[in-house]
Amino acid sequence: MAKLTFHGQSTFTVEMDDGTRLVIDPFFDDNPTSDIKRADVGPVDYILCTHGHFDHFVDALPLASETGATLISTFEIVSFAETQGIEGGHPMHIGGGFDFPFGRVKMTPALHGGQVHGDTTGQFTTVPGGFLMELDGKSIYHAGDTALLLDMQLLRGKVDVALLPIGDNFTMGPEDAATAAGFIEPQVVVPIHYNTWPLIAQDPERFRDLVGDTAKVQVMEAGDVFAP
């Protein structure tokens, strides 16, 4: 059973039954809520980035360089990584899926900004996304940074655990995230992308109340581990 460890904001490490280790949206060293620094992450086999904003991508290239991990993201982000000396990345795009050794990953739509941190030319601007992942027999949806989308209804019945932003201002707030939970109907919802800075301060217990009986809400603090 895959074990998810939350590190604040939208960052997770995932350890599979066979020992494969994933990092999703790595944001460690400059993350005021993270429980660890990048140097403490340990071995990494794959890095998945939903989009290129600083708080989801800043540690991706250093971590890939230090660990030899395969970077999985949009074509543009992987192409930018190649210009920075990162080899062996796996480019994907919205709606496409691929069967990796650790499980299947499909990129889902997200409505947000497309800047790629570190790209001073602007030529690698991309569209943001999310990931629908099949990991050790469980379906886990990391929504990335997004507004509420009607497309989320297409995920109904396909998700065991949904990782949904609730911070408002830059992404869905608690009300829209609760609506998203109603669209998706997962077994468990984990709120993410909140309380990192005052601008996205939220009460996760209020989100729990808004979700009601739609799904179990698993509130995680940095360092907490959840095995779906």
pLDDT greater at residue 124 or residue 92: 92
Average pLDDT over residues 47-71: 97
Query: Distance between CA atoms of 14 and 18, rounded to whole angstroms?
Result: 11
Question: Is residue 84 one of the residues assigned to a domain?
Answer: yes
Q: Which residues contact 53 (CB under 8 A, 6 or more apart)?
A: 112, 113, 115, 117, 145
Average pLDDT over residues 32-46: 97
> Which range among 59-63, 69-73, 114-118, 201-205 shows the weakest confidence by mean pLDDT?
114-118
Token pair listed for 33: 């809520």
Question: Is residue 228 one of the residues assigned to a domain?
Answer: no
Q: Domain count of the chain?
A: 1
Question: Is residue 11 one of the residues assigned to a domain?
Answer: yes
Q: Which residues contact 94 (CB under 8 A, 6 or more apart)?
A: 74, 107, 108, 109, 127, 129
Question: Is residue 59 one of the residues assigned to a domain?
Answer: yes
pLDDT at 120: 85
Q: Supply the CATH number for residue 165's domain.
A: 3.60.15.10
Residue for token pair 């192409």: 79
Domain of 130, in residue numbers: 3-222
Question: Is residue 227 one of the residues assigned to a domain?
Answer: no
- How does pLDDT run across 159-195, given as a tens digit for each residue? 999 999 999 999 999 999 999 999 999 999 999 999 9
Question: Is residue 148 one of the residues assigned to a domain?
Answer: yes
- How does pLDDT run across 41-55, given as a tens digit for each residue? 999 999 999 999 999
Per-residue pLDDT for 127 more than 90?
A: yes
Against a cut of 0.85, is the pTM above it? yes
Question: Is residue 144 one of the residues assigned to a domain?
Answer: yes
Per-residue pLDDT for 134 more than 90?
A: yes
Question: Is residue 51 one of the residues assigned to a domain?
Answer: yes
Using 50, 70 and 90 to split pLDDT, how confident is the model at 123?
confident
% the chain with pLDDT above 70: 100
Beta carbons of 218 and 2 less than 8 angstroms apart: no
